[in-house]
Amino acid sequence: MLELLATIWLAKLIGWWVLAWYIASAAIGVLILKGWRLSVALALLDGARQGGIPLGRLFWVLRSLLAALLFIFPGPISDVLGILLILPWPGHNATLGPRNAEDIIEGEFVRADEPHLDQPRLPSDQ
């Protein structure tokens, strides 16, 4: 009921531009929803790298899904709530790298197809 009253009030204020607003809002919601699949995949990849899905990352994925649905649902109140959901919140870290120095595994590698100075050369390499 509040959405309907807010829509009527907004239509009186800006006229037929409300229709353009709703079309743009629905398009934004659909774009977020398309990107949501990528967010889920990245959250699962991040979880696999760290041994479990971090709660903050999972919360971000759910927030973006809810924001997309709110943008698709017509109404100024739902749009404002959707905007609040996609804004970054304090304490949210969306980086995919290791969270602390203990998660870093250092090492060296050598490509098997390239000769190196410390390896003896075989007659077939010359």
Q: Is 4 within a domain?
A: no
pTM (global) more than 0.85: no
Please count the structural domains in the chain: 1
Q: Is 110 within a domain?
A: no
Question: Domain range spanning residue 33?
Answer: 18-95
Per-residue pLDDT of the chain (126 residues; tens, 9 = 90+): 888 898 889 889 988 899 999 999 999 999 988 887 777 777 777 777 776 666 777 787 788 889 999 999 988 999 999 999 988 877 555 444 445 556 667 777 777 776 666 656 666 655
Q: Is 6 within a domain?
A: no
Q: Is 101 within a domain?
A: no
3-state secondary structure of 103: helix
Q: Is 27 within a domain?
A: yes
Nearest CA to 46 out of 35, 33, 61, 34 is that of 61
Nearest-10 crossing angle of helices 17-50, 2-14: 130
Residue 91 C-beta-side C-alpha neighbours within 13 Å: 4
